[in-house]
């Protein structure tokens, strides 16, 4: 038996990372943002509606054939107390010591905007290679501005 060796680069569909965009070998463009969202159950129904309308407004500015994908990454971390403060009361100091180095989960949402050039419909765009991307930097800036103006709880970093 002869094992066939292959490289990781030949199996992954990534071509390059340029100008903050991930470009695949099929000329698909992906832009990733880290999103800061409020803690669960900390917003009122009116604030939740405002957040929802901000998301809808931001998604409407994207061009056709854009896919928006939100991933939630949960990372286990340990609590680090703030015992150095001088103005801690007895209860505050006891609280900090009680939770010292206890594990907890933090949520890091990632928003991926993926634009696939429809080669089967637009063969004239780049028959010999990648010449034009539908999703440009101005589109990601429009998306970012729509989020920032929408509501204070949604921040695209």
Which residue, among 65, 37, 33, has the nearest Cα to 52 in the 3D structure? 37
What is the number of alpha carbons within 13 Å of residue 98 lying toward its C-beta?
6
Report pLDDT digits (tens) over 64-81.
778 888 899 999 999 998
Angle between the 137-150 and 45-60 helix axes, to the nearest 10 degrees?
Answer: 160
Residues in the chain predicted with pLDDT less than 50, given as ranges, are: 118-135, 148, 156-157
Gap between the Cα atoms of 147 and 137, Å rounded? 15
For residue 76, the model assigns a pLDDT of 94
Percent of the chain, pLDDT > 90? Answer: 17
* pLDDT value, residue 100: 92
In this predicted structure, what is the pLDDT of residue 145? 60
pLDDT for res 53: 87
């Amino acid at each position: 038996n002869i094992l066939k060796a292959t490289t990781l680069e030949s199996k992954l569909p990534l071509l390059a990372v340029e100008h903050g965009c991930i470009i695949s070998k099929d000329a698909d463009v992906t832009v990733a943002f880290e999103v800061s969202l409020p803690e669960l159950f900390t917003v009122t129904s009116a604030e939740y509606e405002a957040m929802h309308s901000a998301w809808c407004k931001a998604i409407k500015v994207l061009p056709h054939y854009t896919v928006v994908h939100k991933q939630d990454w949960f990372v286990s971390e340990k609590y680090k107390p703030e015992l150095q403060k001088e103005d801690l009361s007895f209860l505050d100091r006891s609280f900090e010591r009680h939770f010292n180095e206890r594990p907890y989960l933090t949520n890091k949402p990632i928003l991926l905007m993926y634009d696939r050039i429809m080669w089967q419909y637009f063969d004239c765009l780049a028959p010999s290679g990648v010449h034009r991307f539908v999703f440009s930097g101005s589109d990601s800036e429009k998306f970012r501005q729509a989020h920032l103006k929408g509501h204070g709880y949604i921040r695209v970093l």
